[in-house]
Each structure stands twice: as C-alpha cells, then as structure tokens.
C-alpha cells in the first residue's frame, strides 16, 4: 500500500523508537495520530522534545494500550497502525512479569481485535530479536526457532503469535517487524550504549557493565524507522515476519571500547553483578540476516558494517553529550 493520504496511528509514540517514527512520518507529509501513555503530568514523553516545526503537526491521543475501549477509540479513522507500545526492559521483566503479559500480549490483542472490527487496512506489529534467544545458527533468519529466555521475550513471542493468528484466522493484514538492537538518540539509560556514553560523559573511568562477551547486531534508530516505513509500503510483507538488522555483530566489550575511542577516553571495564542476567537467560549471540527485508521491501541499512556502526555511534555520542540531553540521564545510578 502507498502511505500517501493515509491516516496513521503510532502506539508507543512517546518512546524511543516511536518518537523517531512519528517525526519521520510527519517529515514525509503523513497524517499522524500519536498514542501516548496517559499520565497526570500531561507529558508526551520524547515527543515533547520534538522540533517546534514538527510538534504541532501531529495529533496526540493519551490512553493505555491495556484498555480495549481506548485502543479502539484511538484507531478509529486510521488506515494504518504502527504498533510499538510495549514494556521492553528485560531486567524489569524478572521483577514484574505479570505487567508484561498485560501490556505486551493483551495490548497486542486489543490492537488486533480493534483492527478486525474497524476494518483497518494495515498493522505493522513490533517484535524483537530477543524472541530468537541465543543464536543456534547465524546469520539469524526469520525461520530461526523462537526461545523465550526472559519473561520479556516470552511475552513478545506471545504478542507476535497473536498478531499472526489474526492474519491467518481473520485475514487481518498484519506484518511483524522484528528489529534487532536499536540504538541512537533518546534511548533509555537501561541499554548498554547509553550506559557507556553517560558514564564516560560523567567523567568516570571505571565503566560498570554486565556481561562483555555476548554479541549484538546494533541497528541505528534511523534504519529501524526506515525499515518500518518500507515494510508498511508494500503488500508483499502482509502475513510475514521480517528482520530489521544491520547484518553486523560486535561484542558488548568491543562496543564499549569503540565508544571510549570515539569519546577520546581511557577506560577500565568492571563487571557489576546487578547488571548480569541469570545465566540461562542471557542471550549470547544475535546477528541478523536482513535479506528478506531487502527482497520484499527494498530496505537496507544506511549504518551497516563497522564503518556504519562507528558513524552511528559518533552521532549518538554527539546527542547524548549535549547538556540539554544529558541532564535526562543519571550515570551514577543503574536503572532496570
């Protein structure tokens, strides 16, 4: 489908990836409704930091993805839904797994049920590379077995299957976008790249991290957003699961050292026990095959390979080290 002239809803629009997606859609000239989590402060999350020329170009709906009535109300009049709303922190899923079931699985059910009732033209549902668990083969294709190694990943597996079941059972036009480890401006401090950057920016030389040996396929947020839009723009991806990954892997330890190099810092890395996952829950290796995204949607990463990763990290460092941005982060405290 062409996105031109479509009314687009983005759930989770107040978050890291969601806010970037809203801004990209507005810049492309689309009509956007941003679904944000209701709060008594009237905060729209990262959307409050959008450039002035964009901030007044989208509609905001405050609600809760767990509320089926609110979800259906938000979706009325929308042709396309990018469903990003989710609880994503892995450590917090050990702490409060029940909330992940309600938000990730029930929230996705609410979106799919509303889409079925309203006749929504398209849903792009957000998955995660965590559903694969530790790679059994690389690069990881969409046919890789699913392994719930944390309550978070288990609920995302459930959410993915709910979305696909609606496509298979009722013909609801669903695409499952499966981004690998997205990074970039606005990412939560719980993630490894902001953790390293903010500790170095705070003048710390001893950088506290969890496991250093696992590898990740880091995907710049601009590539993730472009991937979402590309998947929505073609009918070839309906009923499909599609990886969005850079096709490059690097260890956590080497990532930290690369960031230090970019920031001109000498660091020592120490293991912080509270940042370690339980042994059987740690995902040891993630490395994406992105051939399906290229074939079906014509998408390819602009920040691929080591050179692209270095460039993306430099841009991310530049954003985080600006005073107005760094003040939102507390390097001295570990947040789950």
**Which tens digits make up the pLDDT trace of 256-286?**
999 999 999 999 999 889 899 999 999 999 9
Residue 174 domain-assigned (yes or no): yes
Query: Does residue 198 share a domain with residue 156?
Result: no
Q: Which domain CATH number covers 149?
A: 3.40.50.720
DSSP string computed for 261-312: HHHT---EEEE-GGGPPPTTT---B--B--HHHHHHH----TT-HHHHHHHH
Q: How far is CA 41 from CA 45, 55, 70, in A?
A: 10, 18, 19
Residue 334 domain-assigned (yes or no): no
Strand partners, 241: 176
Residue 170 domain-assigned (yes or no): yes
Query: Does residue 224 share a domain with residue 237?
Result: yes
The residue with tokens 């690069």 is 139
Neighbours of 39 (CB within 10 A): 11
Query: Does residue 174 share a domain with residue 136?
Result: yes
Residue 187 domain-assigned (yes or no): no
Query: Does residue 209 share a domain with residue 80?
Result: no
Domain count, the chain: 2
Name the nearest CA neighbour of 3 among 27, 23, 30. Answer: 30
Query: Does residue 37 share a domain with residue 170?
Result: yes
Length of the chain as a residue count: 336
Residue 335 domain-assigned (yes or no): no
Query: Does residue 178 share a domain with residue 98?
Result: yes
How many CA atoms within 13 Å lie on the side-chain side of 152? 21
**The pLDDT value given to residue 332:** 75
* pLDDT per position as a tens digit, 164-184: 999 999 999 999 999 999 999
* pLDDT per position as a tens digit, 83-99: 999 999 999 999 999 99
Residue 332 domain-assigned (yes or no): no
Query: Does residue 140 share a domain with residue 25?
Result: yes
Per DSSP, the three-state class of 81 is strand
DSSP string computed for 37-56: E--TT---GGGGGS-HHHHT
Query: Does residue 164 share a domain with residue 31?
Result: yes
pTM over cut 0.85: yes
Residue 59 domain-assigned (yes or no): yes
**The pLDDT value given to residue 115:** 98
Query: Does residue 134 share a domain with residue 25?
Result: yes
Query: Does residue 139 share a domain with residue 262?
Result: no
How many CA atoms within 13 Å lie on the side-chain side of 175? 29
Domain that holds residue 304: 192-214+249-289+300-326
Query: Does residue 237 share a domain with residue 210?
Result: no
How many CA atoms within 13 Å lie on the side-chain side of 225? 22
**The pLDDT value given to residue 333:** 76
Query: Does residue 155 share a domain with residue 125?
Result: yes
Q: Which stretches in the chain have pLDDT values below 70?
A: none
**What is the helix (H) or strand (E) element at residue 150, kind and residue range?**
none
**Contact assessment for residue 320 and residue 263, using Cβ atoms and an 8 Å cutoff:** no
Residue 314 domain-assigned (yes or no): yes
Q: Which domain CATH number covers 257?
A: 3.90.25.10
């Amino acid at each position: 489908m062409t996105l031109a002239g479509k009314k687009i809803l983005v759930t989770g629009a107040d978050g890291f990836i969601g806010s970037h997606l809203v801004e990209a859609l507005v810049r492309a000239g689309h009509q956007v409704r941003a679904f944000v989590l209701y709060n008594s402060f009237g905060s729209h999350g990262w959307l409050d930091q959008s450039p002035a020329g964009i901030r007044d170009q989208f509609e905001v709906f405050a609600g809760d993805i767990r509320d089926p009535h609110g979800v259906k109300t938000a979706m009325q009049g929308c042709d396309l839904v990018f469903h990003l709303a989710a609880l994503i922190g892995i450590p917090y899923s050990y702490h409060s797994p029940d909330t992940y079931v309600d938000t990730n699985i029930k929230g996705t059910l609410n979106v799919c049920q509303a889409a079925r009732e309203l006749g929504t033209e398209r849903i792009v549902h957000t998955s995660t590379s965590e559903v694969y668990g530790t790679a059994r083969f690389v690069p990881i294709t969409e046919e890789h077995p699913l392994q719930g190694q944390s309550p978070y990943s288990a609920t995302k597996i459930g959410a993915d299957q709910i979305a696909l079941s609606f496509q298979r059972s009722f013909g609801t036009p669903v695409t499952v976008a499966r981004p690998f480890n997205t990074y970039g401006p606005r990412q939560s401090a719980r993630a490894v790249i902001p953790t390293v950057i903010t500790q170095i920016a705070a003048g710390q030389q001893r950088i506290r991290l969890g496991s250093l040996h696992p590898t990740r396929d880091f995907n710049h947020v601009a590539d993730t957003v472009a991937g979402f839009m590309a998947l929505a723009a073609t009918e070839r991806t309906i009923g499909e699961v599609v990886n969005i990954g850079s096709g490059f892997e690097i260890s956590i330890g080497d990532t930290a050292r690369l960031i230090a190099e970019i920031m001109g810092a000498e660091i020592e890395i120490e293991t912080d026990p509270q940042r370690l996952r339980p042994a059987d829950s740690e995902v040891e290796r993630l490395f994406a095959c992105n051939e399906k995204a290229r074939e079906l949607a014509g998408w390819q990463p602009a920040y691929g390979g080591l050179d692209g990763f270095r460039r993306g990290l430099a841009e991310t460092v530049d954003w985080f080290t600006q005073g107005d941005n760094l003040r939102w982060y507390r390097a001295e405290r570990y947040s789950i």
